[in-house]
Structure 1
Amino acid sequence: MPQDDLIQLFSHFGLAALLGFLIGLERELRDETIPTVGIRDFVLFSLIGALSSYAALGLQASWLILAGFAGFLALLLSSYWVQRDQGPGITTELAAVLTFFLGVIIMHGATLLAIALAILMLGVLFPKDAIKRFRSRVQIHEMRAVLLFLTITFVILPVLPRQSLDTFLTHSVGTVTAVDQSTGEVDIRLDGDARVSAGDRVMLSQPDGTRIGFVRITAAENLNASGGYEGRQLADVRPDISVDGGLGIEFLEVMASAVRPYMLWLIVVLVSFVSFAGYVSIKILGSRVGIGLTGLIGGLVSSTVTTLSFARRSIEAPAGNSLFAMAIILASSVMFPRLLLEIAVINPPLMKNIAVPLTAMGITGALMAAVLYFRSRQPDTATVNVEFHNPFSLKSAVSFGLVFAGILMFTRLATFYLGDAWLPAVALVSGLTDADAIAFSMSSLQASGLIHIDWAAFNLVLGAISNTFMKLFLVLGLGDRALFKTLIGPFLVIGIVGLVSTLLYYDLGTALQAAGG
């Protein structure tokens, strides 16, 4: 056998023994009595699996794996029979079976998979007490919410149409015959029964239904028409591309073009998942945790709910305003990496483009919270009970979807009728309602080629800053006045850092020129 093959063989057997050792160590640490199945047994289980697999590969007889497993299983069952009166659990036996098959797949070359499965096993076996505490806190309505979430994610989402709604309000007009890439002039061959006239606006679609722009008809005669292209994807306009006509009501067509049911619901699912992850974290840790940790994790569930809770608490205990302010800033700062994560799923190029200002604001918020913590005379050992309701329900999902769809249509109408230069006003107003919605709206505009990527990033930052300052005014209306004064400085610093980093990082001159501003 070549030396390289021998080294690889030894490494595979060594990895099998190591994984068996780690799993056996966990079992011995877990069992307070003298275990009947311990470290040495698990090492041997893994090696038996590896040896069975090696023999099967060498002799081209896969039945040897089954034979090895049968012998191993007989020994395991006899051990279980001896200790059957010690407890009803079979966790150790199941871990032993999985350990055997870890050795099998290692010899088949799936070393990374074996390591990942071993880590997953240890991750399930170690936190036994935490899992039991979590089980005691789980309620039936929360399990229903999980089932509903899985249903709308893996059953409903895949069947939703990926085209924008305006494609369902259109009819075929013809196809593109020629396009002048320098002037944007588009020639169209009309269908036999199609009728267009000067001033009409028709849509261009790729074979998959993706909208790539519009053509404003300037001349039409018999079965030929021509017009000027409107959009930012002229390079994608080629002969034989489909040309569609709409209802003739431009206002409705523009609004409908902003909404793609699949993408809209994907974003609803994504936002719900992030919020639900934070909610589960709170359930595991308990509702009464440290103020700082509540602010940090509560920002994933809902930074608005977290802010409202601490604002009301400041009325009851104004002495803790510094800590309350720290928690509110942490909750607001979590929004920035949260937005990065969400945008990365649907628009990776924009995520990379927006990473610098959002990261800068997130870090600044964390530093401001740290300053307040060290200036506070009381340590963060107090607990606070913030009541978070299950962030996922069909009602909440539909409500967010409607708000998001409304902001999508609002921004699309503003872009179409007022021009891109008005987007900052739209972002500031929409950000007061929901930071996620305005962020995804700008992402949708940029992905559709309707605005420059730097201009989308700038307005996304404005929307996030607007949402941040909205929380400040919530504190002003519902919290202690001293808490509001404590928050003014840090929030101003976060906003200034966001604006300055955006102005320095992006070429807004080019973006404004492209926007016509």
Structure 2
Amino acid sequence: MSGIGVEAWLNLEGTPFAVLPRFVTSLAIGLLLGVERERKQRPLAGIRTFPLAAMLGTMLTMLGQMTATPVLIAVGLAGVIALGFLPEGHQEAEVQEPRTTTLVSLMLAYGLGALVWYNQSELAIATAILATALLYLKPELTGIARKLERRDLLSLLQFATLTFIILPILPNRAMGPYLALNPHKIWLMVVLIVGVSLTGYLAVRLLGERASGPWLGLLGGMVSSTATSLVYAREARSNPGSLSFATSVILLANIVLFLRLIVLAAILVPAALGAMAMVMLPALGLGLITALLRFRHDQSQAGHPELTLSNPTELKLALGFALMFAVVVLCSAWLHDLYGSRGIYAVALISGVNDVDPITLTVLNLFGEHRLDIRQVIISVVLAVFANNLFKFGLIASLGGRTLAWRCLPTFILSGAGMLGGLLLLGTGVA
């Protein structure tokens, strides 16, 4: 990075003040942190000390570079740390803010000042903003921490182990029959399933059922409507009190799928956006109407059982889904080897059972290369969505039970009818 370019804008090159903008940047960073600290009762450092510490970091880094004495940076940091050992200088009965927090913030300001000298102003400013937000939001963060139990923290540690320790060491290459199995991608599905389940559990614990349901549906639809349907279908079966909540999350996740396809077309091949929107918008609209009717019906009913989601510490469901994912991928590769020559539509049906995104990306790229026309692209995507919806509805019925399946069926049927109607309109327009 080359810095924010203030020196060139002010035309200070060649003058004694060429580096002054860097000190001004450090001053601003220190003021940002210092203003937040000044709000506390009798802080160790405040609106004056923080800017001075940041500019000290910039100055000592400059001197260390000019004199080839980088130890000056460490000396300055030691001086800042020494401030924490000074006596408080007052005997107030209540000093609410721990000195350690202010001391670490002061050390950070000093370090960010040093970072500014190395032409990393953007990074230093962004870090200062994040640090100020962390300091300012102490009451909210403390409230969240107090709501979490020991098993919640164990679930977070478990998820971190799955994501940041196991996933990176798995080979990310194709292997096995038809080179269809990729251990990294299969384990990524485990991470996805556990992540969706853990997000839902924590959202309900922290936000409540009504506040977290719509957000979980939107998030699940953007990440994986299949994984979301699986997780909350299982929850509805194991806890009848979560039936309404699970229905809302599943329906919203599956409705957002149509919006996601429109966004993919807009980003990858804007020329296909009009046709994709013509087919997906009717499905999106009809799905929203049926979902809203379901939500209103649920809210009008009194006496819902209490919602208590189970903590997602068990990995049996995730591992089972990963195994199923591997089997579907393997069968897809086998069927593609047998019937792939019969056209892109067979491939769309086969691959759509597992995930809509791969075939969508493939046909959009082929359209961009002028190897498919727009009608072939849209038909392929529609076939993939139908196959995927059929698979998801099977998951909902088998894992969630008959009641959940009947609650979700109208949205699946009418959104599918919307796609077919849009396809017919597209065929008329193309013809």
Once the two structures are superposed, residues 48-85 of structure 1 have per-residue CA deviations (whole angstroms, 9 ceiling, x without a partner) of 22222223233332233233333333334316586797
What secondary structure is seen at the aligned counterpart in 1 of 2:45? coil
1:129 aligns with 2:54: no
1:17 aligns with 2:27: yes
Q: Match for 1:333: what amino acid?
A: I
What secondary structure is seen at the aligned counterpart in 2 of 1:419? helix
Once the two structures are superposed, residues 444-475 of structure 1 have per-residue CA deviations (whole angstroms, 9 ceiling, x without a partner) of 999xx9xx899898656533344446549859
What secondary structure is seen at the aligned counterpart in 2 of 1:39? coil
Quickly say closer, same or farther: Cα 1:337–1:156, change in 2 above 3 A: farther
Q: Match for 1:478: what amino acid?
A: T
Equivalent-residue separation in structure 1 for 2:216 and 2:31 (angstroms): 38
Equivalent-residue separation in structure 2 for 1:274 and 1:427 (angstroms): 26
Question: What is the aligned partner in structure 1 of residue 184 from structure 2?
Answer: 262
Aligned pair count reads 397
Question: What is the aligned partner in structure 2 of residue 302 from structure 1?
Answer: 228
Q: Note the C-alpha offset of 1:390.
A: 4.8
Equivalent-residue separation in structure 1 for 2:171 and 2:212 (angstroms): 45
What secondary structure is seen at the aligned counterpart in 2 of 1:165? coil
Question: What is the aligned partner in structure 1 of residue 170 from structure 2?
Answer: 160
What secondary structure is seen at the aligned counterpart in 1 of 2:211? strand
1:3 aligns with 2:21: no
Identify which of 365, 378, 383 aligns with 2:284: 365
Quickly say closer, same or farther: Cα 1:93–1:500, change in 2 above 3 A: farther
Equivalent-residue separation in structure 1 for 2:278 and 2:78 (angstroms): 55
Unaligned runs of 5+ in 2: 1-6
Question: What is the aligned partner in structure 2 of residue 62 from structure 1?
Answer: 70
Quickly say closer, same or farther: Cα 1:325–1:487, change in 2 above 3 A: farther
Equivalent-residue separation in structure 1 for 2:401 and 2:316 (angstroms): 29
What secondary structure is seen at the aligned counterpart in 2 of 1:399? helix
> Does structure 2 conserve the Cα–Cα contact (< 8 Å) formed by 1:49 and 1:68?
yes
Q: Note the C-alpha offset of 1:131.
A: 2.0
Q: Note the C-alpha offset of 1:286.
A: 3.6
Identify which of 103, 111, 116 aligns with 2:113: 103
> Does structure 1 conserve the Cα–Cα contact (< 8 Å) formed by 2:393 and 2:405?
no
Q: Note the C-alpha offset of 1:478.
A: 0.9
> Does structure 2 conserve the Cα–Cα contact (< 8 Å) formed by 1:458 and 1:502?
no
Identify which of 478, 483, 489 aligns with 2:403: 478
Worse-superposed segment, 326-335 or 48-57:
326-335
Q: Note the C-alpha offset of 1:15.
A: 1.3
1:412 aligns with 2:328: no
Quickly say closer, same or farther: Cα 1:28–1:303, change in 2 above 3 A: farther
Quickly say closer, same or farther: Cα 1:36–1:57, change in 2 above 3 A: same
Q: Note the C-alpha offset of 1:405.
A: 0.9
Equivalent-residue separation in structure 2 for 1:377 and 1:136 (angstroms): 34
What secondary structure is seen at the aligned counterpart in 1 of 2:19? helix
Q: Note the C-alpha offset of 1:92.
A: 1.7
The structure where helix makes up a greater share of residues is: 2
Worse-superposed segment, 97-106 or 360-369:
360-369
Q: Match for 1:406: what amino acid?
A: V
Equivalent-residue separation in structure 1 for 2:284 and 2:239 (angstroms): 21
Q: Note the C-alpha offset of 1:106.
A: 0.5
Equivalent-residue separation in structure 2 for 1:9 and 1:359 (angstroms): 56
Once the two structures are superposed, residues 310-349 of structure 1 have per-residue CA deviations (whole angstroms, 9 ceiling, x without a partner) of 89999999xxx9x9987654222344677999xx9xxxx9
Q: Note the C-alpha offset of 1:361.
A: 4.1
Unaligned runs of 5+ in 1: 167-252, 508-517
Q: Note the C-alpha offset of 1:114.
A: 0.9
Identify which of 313, 316, 323 aligns with 1:402: 323
1:438 aligns with 2:355: yes
Quickly say closer, same or farther: Cα 1:480–1:265, change in 2 above 3 A: closer
Q: Note the C-alpha offset of 1:364.
A: 6.0
Instruction: Answer with 1 or 2: which has the greater Rg.
Output: 1
Equivalent-residue separation in structure 1 for 2:324 and 2:351 (angstroms): 10
> Does structure 2 conserve the Cα–Cα contact (< 8 Å) formed by 1:412 and 1:445?
no
Q: Note the C-alpha offset of 1:98.
A: 0.5
> Does structure 2 conserve the Cα–Cα contact (< 8 Å) formed by 1:340 and 1:358?
yes
Quickly say closer, same or farther: Cα 1:156–1:28, change in 2 above 3 A: same
Superposition CA RMSD, Å:
5.3
What secondary structure is seen at the aligned counterpart in 2 of 1:4? coil
Q: Note the C-alpha offset of 1:418.
A: 2.8
> Does structure 2 conserve the Cα–Cα contact (< 8 Å) formed by 1:311 and 1:480?
no
1:75 aligns with 2:1: no
Q: Match for 1:408: what amino acid?
A: V
Quickly say closer, same or farther: Cα 1:386–1:306, change in 2 above 3 A: farther
Could you tell me the TM-score, scaled by structure 1's length?
A: 0.58
Question: What is the aligned partner in structure 2 of residue 86 from structure 1?
Answer: 95
> Does structure 2 conserve the Cα–Cα contact (< 8 Å) formed by 1:24 and 1:40?
yes
Question: What is the aligned partner in structure 1 of residue 48 from structure 2?
Answer: 40
Quickly say closer, same or farther: Cα 1:335–1:372, change in 2 above 3 A: closer
Quickly say closer, same or farther: Cα 1:78–1:57, change in 2 above 3 A: same
Alignment of 1:87-486 (within 5 A): 89=98, 90-166=100-176, 253-254=177-178, 257-270=179-192, 272-273=194-195, 276-277=198-199, 279-287=201-209, 289=211, 292-293=214-215, 295-297=217-219, 299=221, 302-306=228-232, 328-335=250-257, 352=268, 356=273, 357=276, 361=280, 365=284, 369=288, 387-390=308-311, 393-421=314-342, 424=345, 437-439=354-356, 442=359, 459=380, 461-468=382-389, 470-471=392-393, 474=397, 477-479=402-404
Quickly say closer, same or farther: Cα 1:275–1:290, change in 2 above 3 A: closer
Q: Note the C-alpha offset of 1:369.
A: 3.2
Question: What is the aligned partner in structure 1 of residue 4 from structure 2?
Answer: none
Equivalent-residue separation in structure 1 for 2:137 and 2:282 (angstroms): 31
Once the two structures are superposed, residues 123-172 of structure 1 have per-residue CA deviations (whole angstroms, 9 ceiling, x without a partner) of 42233233223323334444444434443444444443444434xxxxxx
Q: Match for 2:228: what amino acid?
A: S
